[in-house]
Amino acid sequence: MLQFIESRSPSTIAIAFNGNATTEDAEKLDQYVGENFKDDQKFNILAIMTDVDGTTFQGATEGMEFDIKRWKQFNKFAVVSDKDWIGTVSKLTDYLPGIKVEYFEGHQLEEAWTWIKE
């Protein structure tokens, strides 16, 4: 389940995520971006991920559609989690052109905000 939390930067979407990624989560995020950013405006995402179980197939598909649709708008993506596998997966995104991704452990939230606002 995706939940928007207070952001410390107008160019950053701050979210808390736990459980399974669903179609509704992807739709909610896309709607938020559409309402708060112009189609060519860059934005960052700071995601605090806890108790992540995985995704539904449909949720993953919708998430990929969101990524493709908004690809040129992504700037930085900070992932904050104590789940080691999330850190490993986030490092794979180093190969995605145009997006800077950094993984932070759960106790490094302040460092994540510092990095994303640089």
In the chain, what percentage of residues exceed pLDDT 70?
71
- Measured over the CA atoms of residue 18, residue 20, residue 24 and residue 30, the dihedral's sign is positive
**Residues 19, 53 contacting (CB under 8 angstroms):** yes
Return the higher-pLDDT residue of 20 and 36: 36
Of the candidates 29, 25, 95, which has an alpha carbon nearest to the alpha carbon of residue 58? Answer: 25
pTM as predicted: 0.80
Instruction: Work out the widest C-alpha separation in the chain, in whole angstroms.
Output: 35
For the stretch 65-86, pLDDT in tens is 455 577 788 888 888 888 665 5
Binned at pLDDT 50, 70 and 90, residue 57 comes out as very low
Q: The tokens 């950094």 sit on which residue?
A: 102
Contact predicate 5/20, CB 8 Å: no
Q: What mean pLDDT, rounded, does the chain reach?
A: 78
pLDDT for 90 equals 53
Q: Closest by alpha carbon to 102, among 47, 60, 26, 56?
A: 47
Tokens of 18: 């736990």
pLDDT at 115: 96
Tell me, what CATH number does 52's domain have?
A: 3.30.750
- More confident of the two residues 100 and 54: 100
Tokens coding 16: 């808390």
**Total domains, the chain:** 1
Is the pLDDT confidence value at 50 over 70?
yes
Q: Which domain holds residue 63?
A: 2-117
